[in-house]
Amino acid sequence: MSLVCVTCLTGFPVPTGGSGRGLVQAQEVEFGLGPEPGDVWKGKDVTTAYVEALTLAEEHYAGPIDHERLCDAAATGMLRTLDPHSNFFTREEFNEFRSQQQANYSGIGSLITQHGNKVYIWSPIADTPAYRAGLRYGDEIIAVDGESTEGWDVSKVRSRLRGLRSTAVTVTVNRPGEPSPITVRIVRDSVGQPSVSNVFMLTPEVGYLAFRRGFAQASGEEVAAAVRQLKARGAKAIVFDQRDNPGGLVDAARAIAELFLARGQKIVSIRGRTPRGLTYENALTSNNPTPEDIPLVVLINGGSASAAEILAGALQDHDRALLVGETTFGKGLVQTPYRLPDGYGLTLTSAKYYTPTGRLIQRRYDNVSLYDYQRRRSRTEVTGKDGLTKYLTDGKRTVYGGLGITPDVEVKGETYTLAQGQLTSLTFLFGRLLANGQVEGFAQYRVPRDVDYNHTLQDSDYPITDQLLAAFKAFAQPRLQEFGIAPTALVGNDAFLRQQLRREILTAAYGFDTAQEVIIREEAVVKRAIAEVPQSRSLAENARRLMPSPLRPTNSFKN
């Protein structure tokens, strides 16, 4: 029997630090050996029953038994009875989890994508082994370590490209215009995953900051640097995009909130219990005597969760930002990671968090399947704000609790038709030909081998002309059936196709993050955020007036 089977059922974790602080910080905790003498505990009885059930299965089950899968399922099922966010991790899953917390992983450093039954390089990340080895946008991955990738999906290719740092992997690709496959040997390395992916100016006075990849150890420093960069470029207000940010470290949320909240202002209250059953409450507060007072519009949606909700809730409760978008996911539970023997791990809900006004953000999860909880909201959760508990912000604005963080201005997210989703495969396949100079009559769209990751996007960069759009349609028409696309899909989608084609060629020339600017600028929620900047300016000015006099910034903005 795997050691983890026994330890999951019989062991107790021992937190680091005192008074439960390790739990609040969501630090990784070592696994202990058991309860203190005298504790009331029935682990022995549970273990005996489990071992007896496993023994019966071994002796009488009609087929072969995979002990590791049985153990994993037992631990997973046990934790899932507690809440949707307490999870068990296999060795591979726990390594991936830890990489996300540290904002890096070990691999070659490239975004990959699947279209049809083939996997391609989408965008090598700047200054990574993949980029230095010469892999580029549109390369079709046909072999890894000499083994054909035929029949592999994108997940299998990704798992084979990742590995221990300093180990080597050979990758063979087909590139349009090259007479034979290209094979490169790549030494894996640590690959950073910055929390801030896009920083640019939406208008001469409104900056944009994309913070959508999670809260990691360096997130606070990244956001602070991005704010300084935007202000240096003339920003008088910032659109802070937290859509689809899954959360992460509570300390990172605190660090970012401190950039904008004054000393003494509460960021979040965390209420839980220690391993000995004692309850506690820790209030995290800002310690910044000179916070930034630039007006903020924060974008949120149903994918904004956990630490993203802590940050959004704190800024909303203190009237420090105007929230635009859709109601957040509603995850008000704090997990502590635990290392188990043999490389396994688990996260266990150890506390609940509350916004400064006392709002519990967590949605109800009792009598709801895991699928419904993660993918769909119940009918009562989409009926609006009726029945939700009301709270008052510092400036006496009404906000709501019990569902997630509700926006001040509701704007629905972008939706795409099935046909549009299918057409993205063809825009990519056309883009890889275009970027490699393989579309007749459009040699000027061939991109240089060196990707300019620091490029400031201009309207004149790789425009999609009527002639180029016509060339794409001629390319796509005979391939519609292969990808299961209706012949009518090419009709009435010109604006969408122009946008996607430009994003593809810009990805090849300047990298994925820069190319995303084409999509971001046209989103309805971003346009609405720009329109709401005057309201955010009023909120920021009012928040400044509500500060105690010694804490007011001396460099306050002017209307």
Whether 473 sits among the annotated catalytic residues: the reply is: no
User: What is the residue-wise DSSP string for 260-328?
Assistant: HS-TT-EEEEEEEE-TTS-EEEEEEE---SS-----EEEEE-TT--THHHHHHHHHHHTT--EEEES--
- Secondary structure class of 399 (helix, strand, coil): strand
Indicate if the alpha-carbon torsion angle 311, 312, 313, 315 is positive or negative.
Answer: positive
Indicate if the alpha-carbon torsion angle 339, 341, 342, 348 is positive or negative.
Answer: negative
Whether 271 and 361 have beta carbons less than 8 Å apart is answered as no
Residue 70 CB partners (closer than 8 Å, separation 6+)? 5, 54, 57
Among the listed residues 286, 293, 331, 350, the single catalytic one is 331
Among the listed residues 72, 317, 408, 513, the single catalytic one is 317
410: left (phi over 0), alpha (psi -120 to 50) or beta: beta
Whether 452 sits among the annotated catalytic residues: the reply is: no
Other CB atoms within 10 A of residue 408 CB:
21
Residue 286 CB partners (closer than 8 Å, separation 6+)? 257, 258, 261, 262, 263, 264, 265, 267
Radius of gyration of the chain (CA): 26
- Rounded to 5, what percent of the chain is helix, strand, coil? 35, 20, 40
Tokens of 293: 């007072």
Other CB atoms within 10 A of residue 38 CB:
6
Tokens of 209: 């900051």
Strands 322-325 and 409-410: parallel
Which residues of 362-404 form beta strands (DSSP E)?
389-392, 398-401
Whether 44 and 31 have beta carbons less than 8 Å apart is answered as no
Among the listed residues 86, 286, 306, 350, the single catalytic one is 306
- Say which DSSP state 177 is in: T
Tokens 């390790």 label which residue? 22
Whether 331 sits among the annotated catalytic residues: the reply is: yes
437: left (phi over 0), alpha (psi -120 to 50) or beta: left
User: What is the residue-wise DSSP string for 74-141?
Assistant: HHHHHHHTT-TT-EEE-HHHHHHHHHHHHTEEEE--EEEEEETTEEEEEEEPTTSHHHHTT--TT-EE
Residues annotated as catalytic are 306, 317, 331
